[in-house]
C-alpha cells in the first residue's frame, strides 16, 4: 500500500516511516505542508497521514485544499490536541479519521489500513458478508454459521458487522467504540473486551475453528483460520 506521511517532527516521521515499512507498506514523507500538498496532489497514494500543525501550510488547510481539488485520498489526521472539538474540526475540514498524539502504533496501523480499504464512492455495497462458514446478511439482520442461525442482540450484530467489514485486519477497541457505539470518550474499563467476548461466545464457542481472534496489544481481528 502506498502511504504518504506529512509530519514536520523528524523523529516522529522517521519512526512512522520505519514502522509502516516494516508492516509492508511503501511510504513517502513530506516535512512541511506545501511539499506535502504537492505530493498528495500528484496522487497515487492510498492513504495520507497528516499532522495538524505543519510549517508553511497547516494540516487542515492542506486537507481542505486537496478536497477542493477533488482529491479524495483518505486522510488520517494526527494531532497533539486530543479534544472533542478538535476532532470535529478535523473531520469537518475533510479528514476521514483522527488520532490524537501520543498514539499506539498498532492503533495508527489499524486505522490506516481501515481507511485504505474504504470502498470507492459509488461502488455497490455488499449486502452479505461471508467468512468461512459464517454469514451475515445486512438486510435481513440474519447471522448463520455452518447453516445454523445465531441470534444476536442489535449491538452484537453491529459489532460483528463492523468486524466482518474489516475481515482479516486488526480493529482496535477505540475503533469499535467509535464505529459501533459512536462514542469517542475513554470508557475507563475494558467494556469493549466484554462485548467482544460475548459475541465470541455466540459465534465461536460451539464450533471447532475460531474466527474472532484477539491481537495482543492491538485489538481484534476476524479471519478465516482455515484459509
Interface with another protein (CB under 8 A): 82-85, 88, 100, 102, 104, 155, 181, 183-191, 194-195, 198, 217
Nearer to another protein, 82 or 132 (CB): 82
E strand residue ranges, 41-190? 47-51, 75-79, 97-100, 128-131, 134-137, 142-145, 148-150, 171-172
CB 38, min distance to another protein, A: 33
DSSP string, 140-183: TTEEEETTEEE---HHHHHHHHHHHHTTTS-EEHHHHIIIII--
What's the gap between Cα 61 and its chain centre?
Answer: 23
Distance CA 218, CA 222 (A): 13
CB 181, min distance to another protein, A: 6
Nearer to another protein, 9 or 178 (CB): 178
CB 86, min distance to another protein, A: 9
The distance in angstroms from the start CA to the end CA of the chain is: 22
Nearer to another protein, 4 or 192 (CB): 192
Nearer to another protein, 181 or 207 (CB): 181
> No. of H helices and E strands in the chain?
8, 12
- The 3-state DSSP class for residue 222 equals strand
CB 183, min distance to another protein, A: 6
CB 82, min distance to another protein, A: 6
Residues forming beta bridges with residue 219, ordered by sequence position: 172, 215
Residues counted in the chain: 227
Nearer to another protein, 72 or 178 (CB): 178
Contact status, residue 42 vs residue 14, Cβ threshold 8 Å:
no
CB 80, min distance to another protein, A: 11
**Minimal CA–CA distance to 190: which of 174, 205, 204?**
174
Nearer to another protein, 124 or 217 (CB): 217
Amino acid at each position: 500500500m502506498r502511504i504518504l506521511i506529512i509530519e514536520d517532527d523528524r523523529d516522529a516521521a522517521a519512526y512512522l516511516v520505519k514502522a509502516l515499512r516494516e508492516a509492508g507498506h511503501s511510504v513517502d514523507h513530506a516535512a512541511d505542508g506545501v511539499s506535502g500538498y504537492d505530493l498528495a496532489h500528484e496522487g497515487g497514494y492510498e492513504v495520507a497521514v497528516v499532522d495538524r500543525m505543519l510549517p508553511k501550510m497547516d494540516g487542515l488547510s492542506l486537507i481542505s485544499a486537496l478536497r477542493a481539488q477533488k482529491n479524495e485520498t483518505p486522510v488520517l489526521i494526527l494531532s497533539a490536541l486530543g479534544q472533542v472539538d478538535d476532532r470535529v474540526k478535523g473531520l469537518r475540514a475533510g479528514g476521514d479519521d483522527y488520532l490524537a498524539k501520543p498514539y499506539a502504533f498498532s492503533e495508527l496501523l489499524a486505522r490506516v489500513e481501515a481507511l485504505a480499504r474504504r470502498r470507492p464512492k459509488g461502488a455497490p455495497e455488499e449486502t452479505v458478508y461471508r467468512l468461512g462458514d459464517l454469514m451475515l446478511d445486512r438486510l435481513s439482520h440474519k447471522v448463520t454459521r455452518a447453516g445454523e442461525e445465531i441470534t444476536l442482540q442489535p449491538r452484537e450484530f453491529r459489532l460483528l458487522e463492523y468486524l466482518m467489514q474489516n475481515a482479516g485486519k486488526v480493529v482496535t477497541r477505540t475503533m469499535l467504540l467509535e464505529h459501533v457505539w459512536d462514542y469517542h470518550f475513554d470508557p475507563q474499563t475494558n467494556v469493549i473486551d466484554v462485548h467482544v467476548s460475548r459475541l465470541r461466545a455466540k459465534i465461536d464457542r460451539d464450533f471447532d475453528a475460531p474466527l474472532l481472534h484477539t491481537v495482543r496489544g492491538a485489538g481484534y481481528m476476524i479471519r478465516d483460520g482455515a484459509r
